Amino acid sequence: MKRYIVPGVRTPFVKAGAEFVSLNSIELSIPVMQAMANRSLPDFVAWGQVIPSANVSNIAREAWLEAKLDPTVPGVSSVLACSTSMMAVIQASGMLGFGGSHLALVGGAESMSHVPIALKPEVAQQVAGLAMKDPQAALVMVNDLNAGHFNLPIKGWANRLSGRSMGEHTEDTAKFFDIARVDQDKIAFESHQNAIAAQNAGFFDDLIIPLGDISQDTIPRADSTLEKLNSLSPVFDRSESGTLTAGNSSPLTDGAAAIWVADETGLERLGIEQQNAIEIVDWRLGAMDYQEEGILMAPARAIPQLLSAHGLTLDDIAVWEIHEAFAAQVLANIQGITDSSYLRDKAGVTSDLGAFPIDRLNQTGGSLAIGHPFGATGARVLSQAAKQLLERTSGSYAVVSVCADGGQGSVMLLRKPE
């Protein structure tokens, strides 16, 4: 049985602390779920959120119910760091055809403006233990807390085991692969240029629903220049060898995004013929020891393995969507998949995949320009790739790649049906 994706809708993506500062992840999810459900009622919802909310245990179900949608539709939540909503697509595709399920509403959200501030474990244990025995004494203890009792996100979302941020790890990657600062800034510049061109051409008009007064992504900059990007100071390694800046790193972002996952029966319910949907050909999850060359390099193993399994080269892919957590990570992954020694030693692939067609990379803008709300990025990238692929000739392929914390990543091979 074949599985398909159909582009969904999303909110505009905006910088954290800006226009959506008052909205949490559920509130960002609600209008997207409602817009999708207005088209067709799914058999189930698969939704994700990476930064946990203390009072939300299953965002898929809770957002669906808060949206006042049919309570008989079940909801399951997924999480795989930045690959969360792509992982939800993979999981949903495996669920179709069982239990009478043919159509899934899939996606995710992230409010990076609403970051839960947690007590240190030992302090939380004392407060919780005291609250069960003497609530009044627990309140007194809470009143005496100070900053030292909290786990403050001073390094953003650092890896728990290493204690280092994604940017710090990616500085290691940039040095390992000798990724030049000028090349990183060029990727960032082109991401903004492509996103602005796509906005002006109306590419996002049917992919984005207005939220409040905001009707389009606010992060892409029409006035971005290489000179401005080159003038920014490094933010993760402030020494002379640091190359990652706020300009060539994805910004903290608020937003929600959705996509449809369907079999042939599900497509009929959407009123879509197979040639107007995009087939999921195959997928790979990559994992590696992130101490080797950086924490976001698993796609450099998964992409070659996926292409090799289907006898494809890099040039056979018409649409390349590689999530831009950092420009350095994008360039390092491309360097890996085009190096024969790396392919053999790291991916176990001996065939030559050819040169990478850089002109096909993120042609409608990537995360550096559009933004990166962790739980929403996978659905955003997949919808963008699917829409681009629908404009290509039948039989054309797309590859979508999303790296993830912990030395993991997900990669999907898509095809426009004949």
**Residues with catalytic annotation?**
82, 372, 403
Beta bridge partners of 47: 77, 107
- Do residues 298 and 270 make contact, with C-beta atoms less than 8 angstroms apart? no
